Amino acid sequence: MEVSTVEWLPSSSPVGLLEQPDPNYPVPEPPRLLAAYRAMVVGRRFDAQATTLTKQGRLAVYPSSRGQEACQVGAALSIGAQDWLFPTYRDSVALVTRGIDPVEVLTLLRGDWHCGYDVPSTRTAPQCTPLATQTLHAVGLAHGEARKGSGAVALALIGDGATSEGDFHEALNFAAVFRAPVVFLVQNNGYAISVPLAKQSVAPSLAHKGIGYGVRSEQVDGNDAAAVLSVLDAAVAHARSGAGPFLVEAHTYRMEAHTNADDAGRYRSADEVEQWRQRDPIDRLERHLRAAGHLDDAAVERIAAEAEEFAAQVRSRMQAEPTADPAELFRHVYAEPTPQLREQLAQLQAEQEAL
């Protein structure tokens, strides 16, 4: 029986679980929340270390996701090893949570020519800089997995600015028509660089954009880790069951500038930032776990120490100068090098030998 699209409308307000229950979404079990807390603490420390590396000249650029840890970690923990993740340039913490080597995660941002990690074995697409192009890649891959009957789901991470791009709408339409097993997670952090949401859309919510395409949609408090996990669990289960795509809008906030090259003070106030600081996702989850008796001072200190050690290892490894082989420039242009490329490679090698 066909399901009315009215039943697929998002909640009238973002789903939250830490402060009050929601009959439609169960609170994840304590071990899962503890794993999310640990990943968020480690992820934030990694994020801070990466930001410092830009100041030391070890990274060309770094887009911080401080404040968005619940979305980053929730995305990585909601899918399995058989599923695919399609990240943006701001989703380094999600990749670290997925288990990818942090130095490989930073390779692209270091200025190397490739994404750093092995895409097929990690089932994680390269971090995408052009807005929304990875949504089409995610839909195509998900459709292919469905045709193979693999049971795999694709999860595409995007920002609020990407919902203004044509690729996003094409992806929603294709996914709906072909019932592709794909989940779109929109991390609505309030700004597309300096453009506030009010100048991007007048829709009731970004989640409502899915309804016009026949895509089930939901909105969630993106700073409530329990709610993000629960809603994404439902979205992934929906997609995996063959019911089609699912769009989730997470309401969150980017605490730092767009990148290290941005001055966020030019377009938002300190009072606004402070208001969101009071809704810090790590602090909220920590309070919940402490109140429930699942977290104490010793555990908090142990996880913080683990995060410091993780950051120290990243810092140490990133201090080593990468070795570059100029011949790599020619290796992957064509499957079979052209005569011109062979000639250029020979010229390069001759110049190197002459040094």
Can you say how many angstroms the Cα of residue 132 is from the centroid of all Cα atoms in its chain? Answer: 13
Considering the domain delimited by 5-324, tell me its CATH architecture: 3-Layer(aba) Sandwich (3.40)
List, for residues 248-304, the tens digit of each pLDDT value: 999 999 999 999 889 999 999 999 999 999 999 999 999 999 999 999 999 999 999
List, for residues 198-231, the tens digit of each pLDDT value: 999 999 999 999 999 999 999 999 999 999 999 9
Task: Give per-residue burial for 109-121: e unless 16+ CB within 10 Å, then b.
Answer: bbeeeebbbeeee
Q: What's the pLDDT score for residue 5?
A: 54
Mean predicted confidence (pLDDT) in 1-6 = 50
The domain locations on the chain are: 5-324, 325-354
Can you say how many angstroms the Cα of residue 265 is from the centroid of all Cα atoms in its chain? Answer: 24
Cα–Cα distance between 104 and 167 in angstroms, integer? 28
pLDDT, mean over the chain: 95
Q: What's the pLDDT score for residue 6?
A: 60
Q: How distant, in Å, are the alpha carbons of 234, 348, 355 from that of 344?
A: 54, 6, 17
Q: How distant, in Å, are the alpha carbons of 2, 105, 166 from that of 176?
A: 14, 31, 16
List, for residues 15-42, the tens digit of each pLDDT value: 999 999 999 999 999 999 999 999 999 9
Q: How distant, in Å, are the alpha carbons of 22, 123, 196, 208, 274 from that of 205?
A: 19, 31, 14, 5, 23
Residue 3 has pLDDT above 50, yes or no: no
List, for residues 74-88, the tens digit of each pLDDT value: 999 999 999 999 999
Q: What's the pLDDT score for residue 282?
A: 98
Confidence at 125, pLDDT banded by 50, 70, 90: very high
Q: What's the pLDDT score for residue 323?
A: 80
Measured in degrees and rounded to the nearest 5, phi and psi for residue 148 equal -80, -15
Q: What's the pLDDT score for residue 267?
A: 95
Cα–Cα distance between 206 and 199 in angstroms, integer? 13
